[in-house]
Amino acid sequence: MRFALLAKDKPNALQTRMDNRDAHLAYVAETGVVEIAGPLLDADGQMCGSLIVLDLPDLAAAKEWAANDPYAKAGLFDDVTLSAWKKVIG
C-alpha cells in the first residue's frame, strides 16, 4: 500500500535540513520503502519541505517510518500529513 508524506519545514530551518540531509538520505536508502521523493522548494528555490511516497503494508508502518526519519528526529518539520495514496499515472 502506498502513502504520501507531505512535510513542511519549520520557518528558517534550512540549516537543520542540511545538517541532517546525509542521515535522511541514508535512512531512505537503507529502509528501501521510498518509491519516490524530493524536497519542496520555496519561491527562492530553497528546500522548505518534503514529498515522499512510501510503499508499506499499513498506516501504522508508515507512521513508524516517518517518526524514525532523521529529519523528524531533528525536529525539522512544522507540519506533516500522511495519507493513503493511489498511483494512477506514472
CATH number of domain containing 76: 3.30.70.1060
Task: Order the strands of the 77-85 sheet from edge to edge.
Answer: 34-41, 47-55, 2-9, 77-85
User: What is the chain's alpha carbon radius of gyration, rounded to the nearest angstrom?
Assistant: 13
Task: State the amino acid at position 15 in one-letter form.
Answer: Q
Q: How far apart are CA 50 and CA 75, in angstroms?
A: 14
> Is position 81 within any domain?
yes
> Is position 90 within any domain?
no
pLDDT of res. 26: 98
> Is position 63 within any domain?
yes
pTM of the model: 0.93
Q: How far apart are CA 48 and CA 90, in angstroms?
A: 25
pLDDT at 90 over 90: no
Q: Convert the pLDDT of each residue in 55-75 to its tens digit.
A: 999 999 999 999 999 999 999
pLDDT at 20 over 90: yes
